[in-house]
A and B are shown apart, each in its own frame.
Chain A
Amino acid sequence: MSISEPQTTSKEPEEKEAANQISPAVFKKLEDMGLDGELTSDQILHIEADLDAHGRWGKRYLVATPQRLIVLSEKENGHNRGKKIRIKRDDGNELVIDLNVPLEQIERTEAKKMVGASSIEVQLKSTFANSNGAPNGNGAHAPSSIVEVVRASAALDKTIEHTAHQIEHLRKHGVLEEADASDESSWVRETCPRCGRAYPEGSHICAFCSNKWMAMARLLSYLKPYSWLVAANLLSSLVAIGLSFAPSFAIAYLTDKVFPNPTQILNGFVATAANYRALWVAIAAIILAQLFSMVANIIHGRGVASLGTSVLHDIRTELYGHLQHLSIAYFDKREVGSIMTRVQNDVQMLQNFLLDGVESIIVSALTVTIVLIFMFSTSWQLALAVLIPVPFVVGATKHYWNGLMRLWRRVWHQNSLLGARLADTLGGVRVVRAFAQEDREAKRFIGKSGQLRDATKSVEQRAANFYPVLGFVMGIGSPITWFVGGYEVLAGTLTLGGLIFFTMLLGRLYQPIQQLTRMINVLTRAMTSAERVFEVLDTKSEVQDVKDAIAVPRLKGDVEFRHVSFGYDIHNMVLHDINFKVDEGQMIGLVGHTGAGKSTLINLLMRFYDVSEGAILVDGYDLREIRHNDLRRQIGVVLQESYLFHGSIFENIAYAKPGAKPHEVIEAAKAAYAHDFIVSFPDGYDSLVGERGMRLSGGERQRIAIARAILHNPRILILDEATASVDTRTEQQIQMALENLIRGRTTIAIAHRLSTLRNADKLIVIEHGRVKEEGSHDELMAAKGTFYDLVEAQQALNTIVTIGG
């Protein structure tokens, strides 16, 4: 995020609302130039770049109308450059025109990505460049009339890319390309409308101004199903805390009512039976109260544990279920790993809070309240005096504790680095030995460990300051009480028992206040986590069933692509006007270079994404109108790298058909030529595979995946490079397995080895996202086109491999 001037950030909300409106200063300048006629058009593009012509932080504006491209920057103020900050206000600084080119004089507009920044370059038509001299706003020199018009930091990469694309569109068609409103998120740098700070990647929660109470309220709504537990909890903790004051009461009572005061002792006090009885009763009351308090504490503790874990379980289940149903596009836009860590961290944070934080807050708050009530009802003057150290306790805790937490995080981080270092070298122990680097690794480890020692030492030493200082501040309460309370006792306004009661309460006042102060931090962090979790929960799947989706329990398997165009983001179309038809039971092969768009075609058929234009028809129905579940259930896929879950081979094959009987699984495995090797494993079908299971060769995994697909019994089958990662011999086995799988199903196969597509009914050659050729293997070979070239090239390569290898 780059806020050039912190004071101006409050302006952001209006700017955000009017993202496409030109800032007033720029508008005025353009008006002065007599361009107001052009500015009324709604086909105007406007961006604010964050780097000036010299590559320093600053503002620069680009405005494109259907007629021209204008770049403006703020007039430089020579002596203000350097370390001094320039105060930038939209209305204050004079704007100068860096560039003013008619669009018709532009040959091409291009976004150029650099390292840490990007720029827009335009190539001017030679006539214009020659007559005007290469207009250059940035001191760079371009011979072939290529001019850099704006530059921005990496924060605006997407905006720059989008803008370059739109300028081209404006230049060619006179209008801006209409973008889907939801697509805006892919190019507009998203900032919090309240403070202008950028949102964290993939989130719309600003940690600085989000409303913590909203999240709190929502988190509390998860308590609803457990309201009786909540009530029992509160009650038990109230009872436990209340009872814990019984000893103080009893002692105060004994002091005032049972034990003799000095005057009585001087007068020769003789204890009565009533005195002894009272002593007995008081002690019994203390023991009983402690007993009940213990019981209440147990109930409370168990209640909190049960409540916290239940709520957490509910949130986790909801989250997991929701993540499973989000569209693939959601995961594409964000890194799966980062979603996982974020969600895990946030849930962990909530767990800490729900299990420990809430308990501690409730107990501390109740204790403080009760203590204050008792204190003020005993002596309000003394109570006020006792409150004097409170601000210091709060202040010291806030100051020390937060600083300490920060340092602790640093230590934890270094600790984890050390762990990573160790895991790295132990994991790579063979490499370390092979290169005889043991000593160096040891030295590096010692270095890291030394850093950790220093960091830990400094934080421990700081912590060593904290508690004594806090102890001193809290200790001040005691002399205050004895002094003020002593005066009151001497003056006769307070009994000795009252004073003793007070001193006992004192020990229970500062500690919970300190605890509460610490909890504020935990609370706000937990609420931020809660908000992020809720945000994921509130994300709607982009690919959704339409309201009256058609149920198709059994597909025939006719597939038709009708004028299909598609791009993962709107400026970057991957497929253009794709047309082809596959009849029921036919097999077609998709052929083309890497990146031609074959896998994208398949993603569309699986409806991981929806087409941008055109339609995909299955059995004559638009894919978008068919019920999601019906579609997925009847499409099977075998990918290049088949993913096997951690579990037995049996479970993996039966994954597509829960509850499959053993004989069905065996049958599928047989058809996939997998049965024999499975049986020869010591544990047969019960052998564990997947991440922590036994190692399988690529061919074996593939055949298990084929068996899974056979059992799934789909109507439409997709083979995505199913034989790419295995050697030729294994390929033959897989090929035979595939033939069993393909029989009777509509099959769409992508294969790198073109020979494997010989049996296809039809081949479709895709090039740069378009259908280049279509026909049978023999037809295409005879036509001597792209396919022929591909086959030739592959054969030549095979010959080399054969000779060389």
Chain B
Amino acid sequence: MLGETKEATYLSTAQLEALSLQNGTLMWRAADGAESTVEAHCAFPLSYPDKYIVLRDPQDNELGIIETLATLKPEISDAIGEQLERRYFLPQIIKINKMTERFGSAIWDLETDRGRIVISTRQLNEAVRELGPSRFLVIDVDGNRYEIKELRELPPESQAHFIGR
């Protein structure tokens, strides 16, 4: 395996030409013409989910970094986006239907972008991680994580359920 390079290689528009879609799979053509599949990783999955995308070959060698998905051709950025969506499973909470607390555990009835789910967490202050002033991660007893991107954008009732924590 190659050692880590000293400088970050941000892929230029020209270099990004090496990316192509074959049968819906993202492929990378190296300088010598060899092709390999590409795995996309987020360098900042929470702070910048669609920026600083690290591309790696199947042997985990870094091919380069894409600064922002916005500059890519739509089909390529869609393919990368789809890959990232598969790799990073972080349901977004869009509504809190109900929250009940008993004996140091809490039951949350949630609407997420991945569907409705009822989860249980430990004592509330242990289960909620503050990412920003109104951004939170809720971690359930199984270790599954759920994100509230912007508390103030949730319906008022949901906010009340959450603030009452």
Which A residues have a C-beta under 8 Å from some C-beta of B?
A: 1-6, 51, 55-58, 83, 85-86, 114-117, 140-144, 153-155, 157, 189, 197-201, 207-208, 403, 406-407, 409-410, 412-413, 524-525, 528
Contact = CB atoms under 8 A, between A and B. Distances in A.
Contacts, number: 121
A207 B144 contact: no
Contacts of A406: 101, 124, 164-165
Contacts of B104: 207, 525, 528
11 contacts: A1-B118, A2-B117, A6-B109, A51-B89, A57-B114, A83-B116, A85-B115, A114-B87, A114-B88, A117-B89, A525-B103
B122 interface: yes
A528 B22 CA distance: 57
A207 B25 contact: no
A143 B22 contact: yes
Interface stretch (B2-10, B65-73, B135-143): B135-143
A329 B23 CA distance: 47
**Closest 5 interchain pairs by CB?**
A141-B24, A155-B142, A116-B89, A413-B125, A117-B89
Given A208-B103, A406-B101, A409-B123, 4 more contacts: A56-B114, A115-B90, A116-B144, A143-B37
Given A4-B117, A57-B116, A143-B22, A198 B105 contact: no
Nearest to A138: B86
Most interface-central of A58, A157, A409 (chain B CB within 10 A): A409
Contacts of A198: 120, 141-142
Contacts of A57: 91, 112, 114-117
Nearest to A85: B116
A140 B107 CA distance: 34
A58 B82 CA distance: 19
Nearest to B94: A83
B103 A207 contact: yes
A2 B144 contact: yes
B118 A3 contact: yes
Most interface-central of B105, B124, B144 (chain A CB within 10 A): B144
B149 interface: no
A295 to B, nearest CB: 39
B119 interface: yes
Contact of A201 (B82, B107, B111, B141): B141
Contacts of B143: 154-155, 157
Given A142-B25, A198-B141, A207-B105, A114 B86 contact: yes
Nearest to A115: B88
A154 B111 CA distance: 18
Nearest to B109: A6
B145 interface: yes
A406 B87 CA distance: 36
Contact of B125 (A189, A410, A525): A410
A1 B140 contact: yes
A758 to B, nearest CB: 31
A83 B111 contact: yes
Contacts of B91: 57
B141 A141 contact: no
Contacts of B118: 1-6
B102 A207 contact: yes
Interface string B143-165: 11100000000000000000011
Contacts of A4: 116-118
Contacts of B164: 403, 406-407
A399 to B, nearest CB: 13
A3 B109 CA distance: 10
B85 interface: yes
B116 A116 contact: no
Contacts of A412: 125
Most interface-central of B37, B109, B143 (chain A CB within 10 A): B143
Contacts of B88: 114-116
Contacts of B119: 1-2
Contacts of B105: 200, 207-208
A55 B89 CA distance: 8
Interface string B25-67: 1010000000001000000010000000000000000000000
A407 B27 CA distance: 53
A79 to B, nearest CB: 15
Nearest to B95: A83
A55 B122 contact: no
Contacts of A524: 103
Interface string B71-85: 000000000001001
Contacts of A200: 105, 122, 141
Nearest to A114: B87
Given A154-B142, A207-B102, A116 B125 contact: no
Nearest to A414: B125
Contacts of B22: 143
Nearest to A82: B115
Contacts of A157: 143
Contacts of A56: 114-115
A734 B116 CA distance: 62
A2 B142 contact: yes
Given A56-B115, A153-B142, A403-B164, A1 B120 contact: yes
A189 B120 CA distance: 14
Contacts of B111: 83
Contacts of B27: 143
B144 A155 contact: yes
Nearest to A84: B116
A197 B116 contact: no
Nearest to B164: A406
Contacts of A189: 142
Contact of A1 (B24, B89, B94, B141): B141
A712 B120 CA distance: 50
A118 to B, nearest CB: 9
A157 B140 CA distance: 14
Contacts of A144: 37
A86 B140 CA distance: 22
Contacts of B109: 6
Nearest to B140: A1
Nearest to B42: A115
A115 B89 contact: yes
A1 B142 contact: yes
Nearest to B79: A141
Contact of A141 (B25, B90, B144): B25
A99 B105 CA distance: 39
B115 A58 contact: yes
Contact of B45 (A115, A199, A407): A115
Contacts of B142: 1-2, 153-155, 189, 198
A294 B123 CA distance: 41
B101 to A, nearest CB: 6
B164 to A, nearest CB: 7
Contacts of B86: 55, 114, 140
A57 B116 CA distance: 7
A528 B141 CA distance: 17
A116 B84 CA distance: 12
A403 B45 CA distance: 35
B127 to A, nearest CB: 11
A153 B116 CA distance: 14
Contact of B89 (A86, A114, A409): A114
Nearest to B58: A144
Contact of B103 (A155, A201, A410, A528): A528
